Structure 1
Amino acid sequence: MPCQGAGAAGRRRCGAHHDTQRRGVGGAVVTVSESYRADYRELRHGAGGVVTARDLLMLTGPDTAEFLQGQLSQDLADLAPGEVTSSLLLHPDGKLLCRLRVTRTEEERFLCDLAPGLGEGARSRLERFKLRVAVDLEVRRLAMLSVRGAAAPPPPAAGSAGAPTADGEDAAVVAGVRWGGIGGWDLVAGQVAPPEGVRLCDPAALEAVRIEAGIPEAGKELTDGLIPAEAGIVAETVSFTKGCFVGQELVARIDSRGGNTPRRLRGVVLEGTDLPPAGATITDAGGSNIGRITSSAFSPGFGAAVALAYVHRRVEPPAPARLGGDDGRSCEIRVLPLVP
């Protein structure tokens, strides 16, 4: 049975193993084979790579730095050419439009890479606030190689645009990544492929590692209209000393109140290996709805399904719970990360 992949670069053949299938978020079937387990081991303990799509928003012009400083949540004033930071692009009411990674390549040129399909929305939002400033915006659809694992090689040249790629062209973005105890890096370019010594892995295996690390993802945990503090991403994406930016009021008000929000992102370890769909409800012992699943995957480390979920703030983990509806399985709500 073929493994799931990311286009031609991600397709490969599994060995002749006794495969089982688990239906995951969005109804996707995840193949749990020896190859999947090997991918998981490499992504955690060795060196594994996954190829996915990525949007790139390019901003150029003499007013770019000042313009972005007033639009994004992170302080870009001292970001030097070659440096990378993580930021949020918010609606005027302070709720999330998208998370993006910002690379300054030159004094007047910035690259914002973000989840596929979000580039045009980010460009449109920025264009609406582009008043009498000399800034040009362009969106490109590229690919991203995500390398993870305890034995991952160092990035080719983190934060620079000189890394080799599959097509021989320069990379647009190279950025170091830390998922809890797992290191790695992302490379964004027109074509990408793992370097020698890095195993090309199934994206479903990376999903399990991501969930265990408690990393929220666009379209799943990070959705349009989210209050950023609910996902626990404010500390790494927002500067409270930079001055004003669009959407600052809500973010600052919640931070001044200790980041207290109606719900919080939590980890869930489930009984059994079947994967709950996105949107599945979680109930307490009395049957009251206390949360909903956003992502799930089979974890070889736990030998069970694991998930991320937004859970009501009154629930203090670790806490027993159940899936709602006909499923009714037992599960445990835990703090993140599930695996340090």
Structure 2
Amino acid sequence: MIVAPEPSTARLAWSAVVVSGPEAESFLSGQLTQDVVGLDEPRWSLVLQPDSLVVAPVQVTRRDGELAVVLERGLAEVTLARLTRFKLRVACALELVDSLELVDSLEGPFATLGERVAARWPGAPEVARGLTPHGLGRRVLEATVSFTKGCYTGQELVGRLDARGARVPWRLVAACGPSVEAIEAVLTGRGPEGPRGVTTAIERAGAIEVLGVAHRTLAAGHYGEVSLYEVDEAPSAAE
């Protein structure tokens, strides 16, 4: 199904899983890819499944003695379920907060969809394609994953893949072109059947900008009126 483009000014909705209690920090340390011990400023991280597939990109912040895991509202329920599944004999509580007052005060990382696309940052549509952390690009990987902290769920496969050079079959890419259909044709024109295709599309400055998933055999470059970029280096039409 072709993704319909949205205005670049479309607002993003954020929720938070608030973790409280004497073992809140140690619990999250075992569930997040980033080190949150002694956290004193917002920090990006990922929540993974045991097989290392990304559940959600999150930003963790400390608030009034609690830890708030801020994430796109569309990923809130599945992330809460995933964290709850591994909360075994731990002295902490998890609460999903959709209060506009709380979430607005936490200031979601991106105010609009256009900001997220310009930052080449994965959201709910990208996560739905079943990518691993390395499939999100080196920049996102370095911002969200610590390779020196203690164990966390999904760590073994992430570490093994990194040690082997991290060549994954599917990766997040950015592209721009005259239409979503034209970009979709490029993204799906190379490689086997799989999660390839446009995931998020916006209209900006008379062009279509997208995030999407491409097979590793599809190189960055120009394909007629469509320009395909690696997310680590793609310029934005807004820049």
TM-score band (shorter)? 0.7 to 0.9
Give TM-score, length-normalised by structure 2: 0.81
Describe the SS at the equivalent of 1:134: coil
Deviation larger for 252-261 or 91-100: 252-261
CA shift in 2, pair 1:293/1:225, >3 Å: closer
Report the CA distance between 1:238 and its aligned residue. 0.8
CA shift in 2, pair 1:71/1:212, >3 Å: closer
* Residue aligning to 1:333: 228
2:225 is the counterpart of 1:225: no
C-alpha distance in structure 1 between counterparts of 2:36 and 2:49, whole Å: 19
C-alpha distance in structure 2 between counterparts of 1:238 and 1:269, whole Å: 28
* Residue aligning to 1:242: 149
Deviations 1:295-328 (A, max 9, x none): 222221xx4222222122223322426xxxxxxx
C-alpha distance in structure 1 between counterparts of 2:218 and 2:45, whole Å: 29
CA shift in 2, pair 1:69/1:210, >3 Å: closer
Structure 2 unpaired stretches of 5+: none
* Residue aligning to 2:106: 173
2:71 is the counterpart of 1:114: yes
Report the CA distance between 1:140 and its aligned residue. 1.6
* Residue aligning to 1:312: 215
2:162 is the counterpart of 1:265: no
Structure 1 unpaired stretches of 5+: 1-24, 31-35, 40-49, 144-164, 178-184, 187-205, 322-329
Q: Quick check: which one's strand share is greater?
A: 1
2:204 is the counterpart of 1:299: yes
Contact 2:176 2:227 (8 Å CA) reproduced: yes
* Residue aligning to 2:18: 58
Structure 1 vs Structure 2: percent identity of aligned residues?
Answer: 31
CA shift in 2, pair 1:170/1:125, >3 Å: closer
Deviations 1:42-93 (A, max 9, x none): xxxxxxxx6442211111111111111111111011313xx21111111111
2:86 is the counterpart of 1:126: no
Residue-pair matches, total: 230
Which of the two has higher C-alpha Rg? 1
Deviations 1:160-188 (A, max 9, x none): xxxxx7xxx8954147x5xxxxxxx76xx
Q: Quick check: which one's helix share is greater?
A: 2
* Residue aligning to 1:94: 52
Pairs within 5 Å for 1:74-89: 74-80=34-40, 83-89=41-47
RMSD: 3.1
Which structure would you say has the larger RCO, counting Cα contacts within 8 Å and 6 or more residues apart?
2
Describe the SS at the equivalent of 2:209: strand
